[in-house]
Amino acid sequence: MSSEKASVREAVVESVKGIKNGPLPLRAYMEVCAKCGTCASVCPVYYGSQEKYLNPAERSDLIRRIYKSHNTLSGRLVQRLLGGEDGFKEGDIDKWIKEFYECTGCRRCATYCPFGIDNSVITRKGRAIIDSLGMTPDTMKKVVQVSLETGNTDGASPAAFHSAIDFLMEEMKDEHGIDINIPVDMEGAEYFYVPPSGDVLVNPEATTGVAKVFHVLGLGDKWTMSSKCFDGANYGLFTGNDGDMKADNKLYIDEAKRLGIKVMFMGECGHAYRIMKMMMEKTGWWGELPFEVVNCMEFTADHIKKGSFEFDKSKNPMPVTYHDPCNFGRSCGITEEPRVILQASCQDFREMYPNRGENWCCGGGGGLSAMDSILDFRMNISGKKKMEQIRETGAKYVAAACSNCKRQLMQLMEYHEEDIAVGGVHDMLSRSIMIEGKAAEREDLTG
């Protein structure tokens, strides 16, 4: 073995041995798995193709095997008696890179495992080890880099952002005939809107939806966006690099403090909200903060229930279904709010089954939707169940409150030649919300 390969092996084994020092769940998962096979029966990837290497318990065993042969009595005994290696052979790192980037981190396994073993945690550990060796797949590396440098995953400059915002305001003027504002960099505002950058630059109806909500509520000058921090996406979660994840997050906390806002108003991005709310806020990464974290869908749904808006449902006549992004549904508990919004904005809303916390992953979770190197895998294996689910509903529009899901779903539709449009939740609201008596003037577009 060359010295480079030896050092890879060393690093991996050391890292795995270190699991015995915690955190608790990771260690417990190493020791408690009864190999009952339930996780495989509920995993979207395994559903797509029943192969051993795609079995969640087997994937976790990549790490578990090494852990056991070093850290458990029975493991060490077996190794001494039978000889052989500790589970990590030369060249296995390539296997790790491939396989840990085939888990979508959807946490379905954790929901049904009798012991609550969360294979996404083990996957993330695997990816963290890969990242510490500098071997994270190029796409992911690039996205993290761009994000840390420019503050958004598009690498767009503040000037580009400003043009985009001006353009959106002109769009809304064209639709409604009046000025609807999208404030930028406004200090002293109350709400700081942080969407995924795709919702501004590529799929902007989600942002116009939010702008219209604020406008109708008379809060047109109480919110703001930031020309530097306009992308909640945080790929440090997907590469397993806690340092990157926190550094990316800090940019937003600092900006929020600078603007003096009271509410971090997260847009339609599952992992962004999860990191901001369930990790940053709930576990207090940065101590006491002068603001709270709220999701735009909670806010809007709340107001819909209070009757603050009027909708012209005929603007959305086609059958619409909702895909629960795993991060929103399973990890954050935001399930009813998007439905309230869609039911208010659309004529024909249909559910997929199962849904909410038991929904199937789109197949692009865990950052996989950004990786076109595994397109065939995503289209034919990890996204297979989702495709079936959507077809069953007969819907012509799938609303998904998550940029990564949207990308994956859009590619699924194209690949499988399905005539179904994909978009966000506030998009539907943007099309049907009534401002000064009428909804947006648009060409009749079914998508």
- Quick one: DSSP state of residue 151? S
Judged on CB neighbours under 10 Å (0-12, 13-18, 19+), 415 is: middle
- Residue 48 has a CB neighbour count (10 Å cut-off) of 21
Between 71 and 181, CB nearer to other proteins? 71
Distance of closest approach, residue 110 Cβ to other proteins, in angstroms: 6
Q: How far is the CB of 38 from other proteins (least distance, A)?
A: 5
Residue closer to other proteins (CB basis): 8 or 381: 381
Q: Residue 154 CB, nearest distance to other proteins (Å)? A: 6
User: What minimum distance in Å lies between the beta carbon of 27 and other proteins?
Assistant: 6
If phi > 0 it is left, if psi is from -120 to 50 it is alpha, else beta; for residue 417 that is left
Task: For the chain, report the end-to-end CA distance as a whole number of angstroms.
Answer: 56
CB 253 → other proteins: shortest distance, Å? 18
Extended beta strands in 231-352, E state: 263-266, 292-295, 319-323, 348-350
Query: Smallest distance from the beta carbon of 258 to other proteins, in angstroms?
Result: 26
Nearer to other proteins, 164 or 433 (CB): 164
Give the shortest CB-375-to-other proteins separation in angstroms.
9
Closest CB to other proteins among residues 47, 291: 47
Paired strand residues for 266? 194, 295
3-state helix, strand, coil in the chain (%, to 5): 55, 10, 35
Pick the closer one to other proteins by CB: 186 or 422: 422
Taking residue 14's Cβ as centre, other Cβ atoms within 10 Å add up to: 11
Q: How far apart are CA 60 and CA 123, in angstroms?
A: 7
Alpha helices in 33-157 (DSSP H): 38-42, 44-48, 56-71, 73-82, 92-100, 108-112, 119-132, 138-150
Q: Residue 27 or residue 222: which is nearer to other proteins going by CB? A: 27
Name which of 262 and 313 has its Cβ closer to other proteins.
Answer: 313
Taking a C-beta distance cutoff of 8 angstroms, is the pair 123, 54 a contact? no
